[in-house]
Amino acid sequence: MLGLPAAGKTTRAAELAATHRALRLTPDQWMIPLFGDSMAEGKRWVVEGRLISVARQALRLGVNVVLDYGLWGRDERSALRWLARAEGASCQVVYLPVDKDVQLARIAHRQETTPHQTFPMTEADVDAWRERFQEPDAGELADGEISAAPAGWPGWPEWTAAHWPSYGDG
């Protein structure tokens, strides 16, 4: 799943998981109950890394997986696409764009109705996130060719282990 907060990723991820009998892995379902915060001083990358290991184990067992992460950066998406292919699995990037006004309305509704399942988000946060977000290109959405790992990295496994420090080798 690819998109900004309040784009509808978790709703769509749940639909996909039900349709494809897939394991759905959503970091917020772990972060908020464990730490009361979606980022918790860098712990999100630790949780995401462990969930990626679980995803790879599930793929090896022939189980479909939906990663409900957001995946704002092209490098994250490329690394996960590479890992899926390394396990012999196909990968579909599902992008849910969201208009800023709709996003803000959904955030306000979420904070009013289910504050225990979310975290505070300001308009300034949304603006900063929208600035950092890298939209996918047609190749990513079609599971096309995966670019080489970023400069300075020998490959996607090494980049993945640095980005998600608890990833291990799955």
**DSSP letter for each residue of 46-108:** HHHHHHHHHHHHHHHTT-EEEE--B--SHHHHHHHHHHHHHTT------B----HHHHHHHHH
What was the pLDDT predicted at 120?
A: 83
Note the pLDDT tens digit of each residue in 41-72.
778 888 999 999 999 999 999 999 999 998 99
pLDDT digits (tens, 9 = 90+) for 70-85: 899 999 999 999 999 9
pLDDT of 36: 77
Backbone angles phi, psi at 38, to 5 degrees: -80, -20
Overall CATH class of domain 9-163: alpha beta
The pLDDT value recorded for residue 35 is 84
The predicted structure's pLDDT at residue 25: 97
Whole-Å CA distances, 75 to 43, 59, 81, 150: 19, 21, 10, 8
Give residue limits of the domains in the chain.
9-163
Contact, 152 vs 38, CB < 8 A?
Answer: no
Q: Is 32 helix (H, G, I), strand (E, B) or coil?
A: helix
Which of these ranges, 26-30, 91-95, 137-141, 159-163, has the smallest mean pLDDT? 26-30
Structure confidence at residue 118 (pLDDT): 78
pTM above 0.75, yes or no: yes
**Res. 110: pLDDT tops 60:** yes
**Is 167 or 152 the better-scoring residue by pLDDT?**
152
Average pLDDT of the segment spanning 161-166: 89
Is 23 strand, coil or helix? strand
Residue (of 26, 1, 33) closest to 119 by Cα position: 33
Compute the half-sphere exposure of residue 21: CA atoms within 13 Å on the CB side of its CA: 2
Distance separating alpha carbons of residues 97 and 36, to the nearest angstrom: 27
Q: Which two tokens stand for residue 152?
A: 């300075």
* pLDDT band (50, 70, 90) for residue 28: confident
Q: What is the pLDDT of residue 167?
A: 82
Please determine, for residue 89, whether its predicted confidence score (pLDDT) is greater than 70. Answer: yes
Q: Average model confidence (pLDDT) for the chain?
A: 92
